[in-house]
Structure 1
Amino acid sequence: MSRIFTTAFGAVHPLYVAKAERKGRTRAEVDEIITWLTGFDEATLRAHVEAGTTFEEFFAAADLNPAATLITGSVCGVRVQDVEDPLMRRIRYLDKLVDELAAGRPMEKILRS
């Protein structure tokens, strides 16, 4: 089992926000991506961040967006669509979305609309 599975989502969320903000994007945009992917509303997302929920628990509670399968490409040299472990694939989906946001991609493309 990967160490990221037992890492608190709330410990990584500020890193996602910082990455986006360095590129001129906002916390609200990061949270919009996360809520789109997971089906959580803003209050539920905030509760997970504050509660110390692990990535494993976070994605177990999520209702993954059916359009998430349209997320393709590489994160850290790994093609997200080729990741075998379902939990790791979901984490990579989130990483990829944050990367796209930081790269300046338009929100409607990031959200696969």
Structure 2
Amino acid sequence: MNTSSKQDERIARMTFASVYPHYLAKIEKKGRTEAELHQVIEWLTGFDAPKLQQLIEDKVTFESFFREAIINKNVHLITGVICGYRVEEITNPLTQQVRYLDKLVDELAKGKKMEKILRSSL
């Protein structure tokens, strides 16, 4: 699915630090932990907790965040709808990666088992 170039540009310029507190609040409200959030982010990007903290402090954009990431080889197993878009059909690679992260956070907040979120039992 095509997203508008304006939306893609807006996502690229958005900082990870501006969105992270929203991810955290969303999952904590549903009884999940920051450690679980970090586990999900590390699975997707390869970033451990100290690296995540550095990226937050440096206020990196999503463009820089995902440029540094080592995307999990099983990312293609993330499917479904997030923010009105089917993630597997998003054509802009950066927007797709951000939506993958959104999808994983959403699954965590919905109480899915970690094995399912991390696609380890598939």
Quickly name the TM-score band, shorter chain normalised.
over 0.9
Q: TM-score by structure 1 length?
A: 0.97
Q: Secondary structure at the match of 1:53?
A: coil
Runs of 5+ consecutive residues of structure 2 not aligned to the other structure: 1-7
Partner of 2:104: 97
Aligned length: 113
- Identical amino acids, percent of aligned pairs: 53
Runs of 5+ consecutive residues of structure 1 not aligned to the other structure: none
Partner of 1:87: 94
Deviating above 3 A after TM superposition, structure 1's stretches of 4 or more consecutive aligned residues are: none
Partner of 1:46: 53
Partner of 2:5: none
RMSD: 0.8
Q: TM-score by structure 2 length?
A: 0.90
Larger Rg: 2
Question: Counterparts of 1:105 and 1:67 in 2: how far apart (Å)?
Answer: 18
Is 1:66 the counterpart of 2:73? The answer is yes
Question: Counterparts of 1:108 and 1:94 in 2: how far apart (Å)?
Answer: 16
Partner of 1:34: 41
